[in-house]
């Protein structure tokens, strides 16, 4: 992506009247605006009033409706000074703290009026830029507003910040490998936070060491949390915790090798991995795989909540998705886990078209997947792909599409031994796993985990010294399997997977 100032220049030159920068980093947006404005004057409105940046003139206490009204009608007083002050030609009007006023009818009306005058060429070389932490655009202004996302620092820029910090503090130069690791760990954070973390680390024990990586992790977690639409998921599950699904695991291991040696792989001609769609029955290990993939790749896991993406304002959902993508790319390498994909995109192309917002959201997502260059590896999971638009399933979007079905007997045995081993390792040798396998045809991994948990609790409450096969069999008898509960939809889904030639996650 081009730097923010360059993108702004492009839009400004093309006469786009209002640019909307969704960020809480006002400093960064200010710098980009200064660059994009060139020799035009920047005029800022914030809750304190107006500030004319070139002349340094201040007009305190002007409200937003007043200020906009004056720019809309600079000749209202007949005074030349007033008319010159509020002439928007060859100026960039920046609005900060404006979010809460954007719904007011007079503000909307004035912005619309000014936009029309910019578009028609009456206000030459004028632009309005809104800087706000979140995107909320009134419907009436939708056509005039273009949403932009801020730049994040590249690993190279972060590296320079760290080196400069060490020099300024008179510290020894950091080892090259550690410097690279640190720069990667800081990815996604703004400069002031990086400096804060480094200062904190230094104040703590007088040096910057590996232990300080945890600080950046914590900060990043907060950053992701603040976005409101993503969360950083702790990585407890490993690939070894997955019973079966050998095809999928082998595929992920292959991708891990590429991602961990990306420079060499690219030089060799290997394509950058984009991501995988894992579809299939509930409780059969889809989420488990998303988590294990991040652990395997040794990168953070960001979970995108499709439900929270849908905003109430026009363009908000799309802007949220763009913001999430930009943040994931900034933090990358990472795994971007899109859970319950079907909830967001189901039904888009099934006759009559889906909701307009969803369709646009889908377009944004598809384009990103198609053109993706960064190292944000997508793991999308879906329970039901029946209603997913076919474009999504076409080659070129995901590297591969897997389906996970009910575990076969060998897989059930492994899942039993994983879950018993996790909780009662010493009892595992005495358990007749094949007896359990025989009785659990049609059980999902999650059902099996439930059986193990119930049996262990029963052993404890019945004062038994250990977990036994009999206790497990009894827990099986009182658990309804997934295939009993979802018989019909399982059969239907299996057919769809076969028809669409999805790869089986298990070795059949
Ligand atoms: P949902 O669509 O309901 O979210 P899911 O397919 O994502 O289902 P998971 O969350 O991955 O299911 O599985 C639920 C739990 O079941 C896991 O936390 C895990 O403990 C257990 N489980 C499922 N499949 C397996 C497996 N193949 N090996 C080991 N444990 C499994």
Of 416 and 482, which is predicted with more confidence?
A: 416
- The pLDDT confidence band at residue 314, using thresholds 50, 70 and 90, is low
pLDDT value of residue 333: 87
- Residue 378, pLDDT > 90, answer yes
User: How much distance in Å is there from the Cα of 200 to the middle of ligand 1?
Assistant: 40
CB 445 less than 6 A from any atom of ligand 1 = yes
Cα(227) to ligand 1 centroid in Å equals: 27
pLDDT at 445: 95
pLDDT of residue 192: 83
Question: How high is the pLDDT of residue 353?
Answer: 45
Residue 315: pLDDT band by 50, 70, 90 thresholds?
Answer: low
pLDDT tens for 239-294 read 999 999 999 999 999 999 999 888 888 889 998 899 999 998 889 999 999 999 99
- Secondary structure class of 101 (helix, strand, coil): helix
Contacts of 8 (CB under 8 A, 6+ apart): 19, 32, 33, 35, 36, 129, 148
Question: Poorest-confidence range of 54-68, 191-205, 382-396, 402-416?
Answer: 382-396
pLDDT at 312 over 70: no
pLDDT confidence tier of residue 78, bands split at 50, 70 and 90: confident
Given ligand 1 and candidates 238, 240, 249, 288, which is best to mutate, with the most ligand atoms within 8 Å of its CB?
Answer: 288
273 CB-side CA count, 13 A: 29
Checking if the pLDDT of 153 tops 50, the result is: yes
Q: Which atom of ligand 1 is nearest to the CA of 290?
A: 11
pLDDT of the residue at 110 = 96
Over residues 208-240, the pLDDT tens digits come to 888 777 788 888 888 788 777 889 999 899 999
| Distance, CA of 12 to CA of 408 (rounded, Å) | 60
Residue 93 predicted with pLDDT over 60: yes
| Residue nearest atom 19 of ligand 1, based on CA coordinates | 446
Measured between alpha carbons, how far is 71 from 44 in angstroms, rounded to an integer?
12
Answer whether 405 contacts ligand 1 (Cβ < 6 A).
no
Ligand 1 binding pocket includes 448 (Cβ within 6 Å): no
Model confidence pLDDT, tens digit, residues 17-27: 999 998 878 88
Which of 398, 382, 400 shows the shortest CA–CA distance to 346?
A: 382
H helix and E strand count, the chain: 23, 14
Distance CA 238, CA 115 (A): 54
Closest by CA to 273, choosing from 286, 260, 283, 284, is: 260
pLDDT at 444 over 50: yes
CB atoms within 10 A of CB 17: 24
Ranges 129-133, 227-231, 286-290, 295-299: which has the least confidence: 227-231
Tell me the best of 234, 421, 449, 482 to mutate to test the pocket of ligand 1, counting ligand atoms within 8 Å of each CB and taking the most: 449
Nearest to 445, CA basis, from 406, 480, 479: 406
Pick the atom of ligand 1 nearest to 414's CA.
Answer: 28
pLDDT of residue 62: 94
Residue 299 has φ and ψ, to the nearest 5°, of: -135, 160
Retrieve residue 50's tokens.
Answer: 């107006």
Alpha-carbon gap, residue 245 to 252, rounded angstroms: 11
- Examine the pLDDT at 351 and tell me if it is beyond 60: no
Best residue among 283, 419, 490 to mutate for probing ligand 1's pocket (most ligand atoms within 8 Å of CB) is 283
CA angle 288, 214, 308 (to 5 degrees): 50
Q: Give the residue-averaged pLDDT of 393-411.
A: 89
Domains annotated on the chain, with CATH = 4-149 (3.40.50), 155-227 (no CATH), 239-403 (3.40.50.300), 409-477 (1.10.8.60)
Closest by CA to 308, choosing from 338, 331, 330, is 338
Q: Which of 445, 450, 453 to mutate to test the pocket of ligand 1 (most atoms within 8 A of CB)?
A: 445
Alpha carbon distances (Å) from 340 to 12, 277, 279, 382:
38, 11, 9, 5
Residue 20 is inside which H or E element, if any? strand 18-22
Asked whether 223 and 188 are in contact (CB, 8 A), the reply is yes
In this structure, the residue with its CA closest to atom 22 of ligand 1 is 445
Ranges 13-27, 85-99, 162-176, 299-313: which has the least confidence? 299-313
Give, using CA atoms, the residue closest to atom 3 of ligand 1. 282
Does residue 36 contact residue 9 with C-beta atoms inside 8 Å? Answer: yes
Structure tokens at 354: 């889906």
**pLDDT above 70 for 346:** no
Task: Give me the chain's average pLDDT, please.
Answer: 88
Instruction: Read off the pLDDT of residues 455-480 as tens digits, 9 standing for 90 and up.
Output: 999 999 999 999 999 999 999 999 88
- Residue 71 pLDDT: 96
Look at the alpha carbons of 227, 142, 27, 8 in this order and tell me if their dihedral is positive or negative: positive
- 305 vs 250, higher pLDDT: 250
Give the range among 47-51, 118-122, 364-368, 428-432 with minimum mean pLDDT.
364-368
**Residue 380 reports pLDDT greater than 50:** yes
Which pLDDT value is given to residue 352? 44
Say which residue the tokens 């009306």 belong to: 109
**pLDDT, position 381:** 92
Among protein residues, the one with the nearest Cα to ligand 1's atom 12 is 283
């Amino acid at each position: 992506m081009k730097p923010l100032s360059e993108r702004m220049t492009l839009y400004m030159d093309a006469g786009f009247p209002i640019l909307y920068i969704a960020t809480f980093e006002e400093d960064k947006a200010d710098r980009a605006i200064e660059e994009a404005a060139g020799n035009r004057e920047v005029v800022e409105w914030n809750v304190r009033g107006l500030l004319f940046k070139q002349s340094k003139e201040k007009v305190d206490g002007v409200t937003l409706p007043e200020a906009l009204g004056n720019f809309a009608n600079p000749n209202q007083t007949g005074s030349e000074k007033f008319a010159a002050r509020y002439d928007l030609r060859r100026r960039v009007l920046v609005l900060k703290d404006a979010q809460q006023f954007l719904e007011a009818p007079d503000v909307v009306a004035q912005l619309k009026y000014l936009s029309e005058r910019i578009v028609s060429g009456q206000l030459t070389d004028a632009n309005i830029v809104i800087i706000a932490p979140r995107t909320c655009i009134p419907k009436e202004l939708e056509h005039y507003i273009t949403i932009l996302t801020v730049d994040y620092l590249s690993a190279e820029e972060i590296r320079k910040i760290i080196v400069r910090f060490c020099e300024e503090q008179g510290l020894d130069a950091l080892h090259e490998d550690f410097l690279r690791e640190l720069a990667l760990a800081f990815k996604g954070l703004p400069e002031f936070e990086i400096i804060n973390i480094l200062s904190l680390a230094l104040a703590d024990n007088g040096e910057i060491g590996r232990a300080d990586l945890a600080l950046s992790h914590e900060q990043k977690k907060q950053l992701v949390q603040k976005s409101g639409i993503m969360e950083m998921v702790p990585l407890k599950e490993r690939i070894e915790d997955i019973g079966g699904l050998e095809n999928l695991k082998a595929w992920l291991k292959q991708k891990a090798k590429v991602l961990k040696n990306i420079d060499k792989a690219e030089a060799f001609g290997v394509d950058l991995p984009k991501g995988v769609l894992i579809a299939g029955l509930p409780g059969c290990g889809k989420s488990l795989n998303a988590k294990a993939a991040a652990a395997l790749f040794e990168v953070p896991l960001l979970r995108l909540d499709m439900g929270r993406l849908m905003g109430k304002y026009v363009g908000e959902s799309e802007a949220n998705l763009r913001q999430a993508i930009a943040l994931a790319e900034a933090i990358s390498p990472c795994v971007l886990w899109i859970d319950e994909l079907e909830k967001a995109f189901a039904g888009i192309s099934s006759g009559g078209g889906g909701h307009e917002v969803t369709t646009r959201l889908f377009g944004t997502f598809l384009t990103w997947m198609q053109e993706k260059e960064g190292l944000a590896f997508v793991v999308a999971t879906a329970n039901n792909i029946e209603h997913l638009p076919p474009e999504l399933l076409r080659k070129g979007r995901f590297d591969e599409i897997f389906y996970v079905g009910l575990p076969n007997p060998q897989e059930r045995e492994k899942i039993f031994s994983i879950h018993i081993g996790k909780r009662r390792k010493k009892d595992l040798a005495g358990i007749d796993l094949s007896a359990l396998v025989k009785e659990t045809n049609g059980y999902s991994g999650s059902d099996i985990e439930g059986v193990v948990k119930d049996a262990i609790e029963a052993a404890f409450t019945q004062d038994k010294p250990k977990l036994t096969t009999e206790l497990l069999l009894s827990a099986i008898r009182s658990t309804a399997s997934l295939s009993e509960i979802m018989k019909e939809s399982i059969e239907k889904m299996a057919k769809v997977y076969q028809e669409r030639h999805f790869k089986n996650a298990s070795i059949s």
